[in-house]
Structure 1
């Protein structure tokens, strides 16, 4: 474990199409101690030259960027040799490699990877073989991010096997794997606590990270109190409020605009690391996080106007228009803004 333990305290989760470099840097600026890339398919990294080039260029840019590190790269797949080969490609530009054992999406079910590698004990050997191969082949630490097994009591057993295979960090999103009900109900943090207690009792040195049930900063403290975990991973709440790591938040629409402007500047500083579609999604999230925005009549008009922005400058123009007119007097239109 070459990363300092305090790097595990406040972690930005891997999120599909949303864990771009500008967003990761934004989270680090506001207190995240470690960020994750989105999930990368190991097989595509090997076989798709364009996909590989895009990922490596972004990782290289982040490697030397202020607040670009530490960063963990998350890989997914079910073939140990392929994942090790992909990991070797990204290893020079990351501080840790994470194996995805939690993705509940339909594509993971069809491709038999992510969370679908932990549903049957017959598949555990695939997961442990991947971790073993990574641990023996790389110099960076190996993490795993997993969900609850079924029966749930098997969760800690599998975690122990993954640690024995070479994982130094286990992050538990304490919900079950389901492609149709990915976030139904609250995460059962008691199982994170059980894992941490078991590791401590049995002298297992691996760190335990808790994922789930965080909406505001106070939830982070409550999560740690319940679980005793070594750190907390935050996903959707960070999308809406990257300042959550520092107990801060926008208090009105002007704060949302300032945050969006800061993000847009990072997008300009690191061009070609995020698509316009995903930039718009981020900006929308900064506003949608707040009930005092979503409940207003103008939120829909804002979303419509944002969709019509054809470049970064168009988004800036929209934000400037709102700043001048005021949120309550803002009237969006469906004309392209550029």
Structure 2
């Protein structure tokens, strides 16, 4: 499974991308958080430069021909569904997560039932200007499909330039209209573009008219349902071939405090003619089935729960969501096992150490609460190595206090409409 890094792609690859930006400019201060800091070891790839270059050299552009952009609304709707079905109508998806839905994690989730995945949110301007950012933040491989590549943006031309670079390597170019964080407010993107709907429309229209790969969008809901429906219809009319709806408003950032509004997602699904995905309240496979039945959505996205339990879509659940007194028993799999799998994937598909560190903390959170001294040792490591991380996991296992994952067989049954809830 050869690794694909974007920077060296197409004929005379490095010369091609450098010609787009002969001398990359420094980003404004508002964008500093999106750029790697060379002095920080966590920003280094978790592999040698030679290994990364060797893997990148194996990159080849996909051979399949791309269709011409559609010329009418009806043709676009027809093509939206045709494309979705050609991908296998994926239903279980890894949501876009900044620094957390990178290639090794996507591949781990795919091993455990995920049908498709989003990349982390990529900053379109920095992506189009900075070769190092492209090479560090976007990697893929042949098996990493179907794939959504997500960008944040507020300039239609810059977004198109970035999207053109990735369209041969993905199945959708996605626009982030849902990020509610302060960095999105400062950068004027994500959910804060809900205050500028003409700009939102122009971003979608420009991509739809100039890309061969379909355009998808990920949105949050407005406080008023009628505003949400008008927003979703505008996006479809502008050229979105798929709409993913996070059922919370821009101000409802805490997923544990605010329940996602599945009724609003259902209303969007009923109002649109393109595929619609549901995001919110997905903690285990029963939630998946209930969400699909309640909303009628064509698939679901999970984010935070997958970080703790990448095996969610294969029917595994953490102790927090274990049903006492039913057939839900110790599966024999635990999060430490998943960390070992993840580390091996990172050795195969190098990513910045900061991403590795973050996933280890998320997946071993329950273990670290039992053995906080091991977590402190991890936090003290200025420079990580695979050897040290493997030894740390081994030490946790030797210390005891295992935290198993549980599996409920009924959660793996088919959904109400007859589509398998897990392909594991």
TM-score, normalised via structure 2 length: 0.68
In structure 2, C-alpha distance between the alignment counterparts of 1:108 and 1:148, rounded to whole Å? 16
In structure 2, C-alpha distance between the alignment counterparts of 1:7 and 1:240, rounded to whole Å? 26
The question of 1:148 aligning with 2:226 is answered no
Q: 1:106 aligns with which of 182, 191, 206?
A: 182
The verdict on how the C-alpha distance between 1:256 and 1:55 changes in structure 2, with shifts beyond 3 A counting, is closer
Consecutive unaligned residues of structure 2, counting only runs of 5 or more, are 1-79, 319-329, 403-424
Matched residue, 1:267:
346
Matches within 5 A, 1:285-324: 285-288=362-365, 293=367, 297-298=370-371, 300-309=372-381, 310-324=384-398
The question of 1:17 aligning with 2:99 is answered yes
Q: 1:222 aligns with which of 270, 290, 306?
A: 290
- Contact (CA 8 Å) 1:253, 1:287: kept in 2 or not? no
The question of 1:276 aligning with 2:353 is answered yes
Matched residue, 1:77:
153
Partner of 1:145: helix, strand, or coil? Answer: strand
More RCO (CA 8 Å, sep 6+): 2
Partner of 1:242: helix, strand, or coil? Answer: coil
Q: CA deviation at 1:98?
A: 0.5
Partner of 1:16: helix, strand, or coil? Answer: coil
- Contact (CA 8 Å) 1:276, 1:312: kept in 2 or not? no
Which runs of at least 4 in structure 1 moved beyond 3 Å after TM superposition?
A: 5-8, 180-184, 249-254
In structure 2, C-alpha distance between the alignment counterparts of 1:181 and 1:143, rounded to whole Å? 22
The verdict on how the C-alpha distance between 1:78 and 1:182 changes in structure 2, with shifts beyond 3 A counting, is farther
Q: 1:36 aligns with which of 118, 136, 157?
A: 118
In structure 1, C-alpha distance between the alignment counterparts of 2:146 and 2:333, rounded to whole Å? 30
Per-residue CA distance 1:16-41 (angstroms, 9 max, x = gap): 11111100001111111110001111
TM-score, normalised via structure 1 length: 0.85
The verdict on how the C-alpha distance between 1:327 and 1:306 changes in structure 2, with shifts beyond 3 A counting, is farther
- Contact (CA 8 Å) 1:104, 1:182: kept in 2 or not? no
Per-residue CA distance 1:139-188 (angstroms, 9 max, x = gap): 1111100001243321111111111111111111011113x844341111
Partner of 1:110: helix, strand, or coil? Answer: helix
In structure 2, C-alpha distance between the alignment counterparts of 1:207 and 1:252, rounded to whole Å? 34
Matched residue, 1:159:
232
Q: 1:189 aligns with which of 262, 271, 296?
A: 262
In structure 2, C-alpha distance between the alignment counterparts of 1:171 and 1:181, rounded to whole Å? 17
The question of 1:327 aligning with 2:404 is answered no
- Contact (CA 8 Å) 1:172, 1:211: kept in 2 or not? yes
Report the number of matched residues. Answer: 306
The question of 1:117 aligning with 2:193 is answered yes
Q: CA deviation at 1:249?
A: 4.2
In structure 2, C-alpha distance between the alignment counterparts of 1:208 and 1:221, rounded to whole Å? 15
The answer to which of 316-325 and 229-238 deviates more is: 316-325
**Greater helix percent: which structure?**
1
- Contact (CA 8 Å) 1:256, 1:287: kept in 2 or not? yes
- Contact (CA 8 Å) 1:253, 1:327: kept in 2 or not? no
Q: CA deviation at 1:254?
A: 6.3
Partner of 2:247: helix, strand, or coil? Answer: strand
- Contact (CA 8 Å) 1:135, 1:142: kept in 2 or not? yes
Q: CA deviation at 1:53?
A: 3.1
The question of 1:245 aligning with 2:313 is answered yes
- Contact (CA 8 Å) 1:208, 1:229: kept in 2 or not? yes
RMSD: 2.0
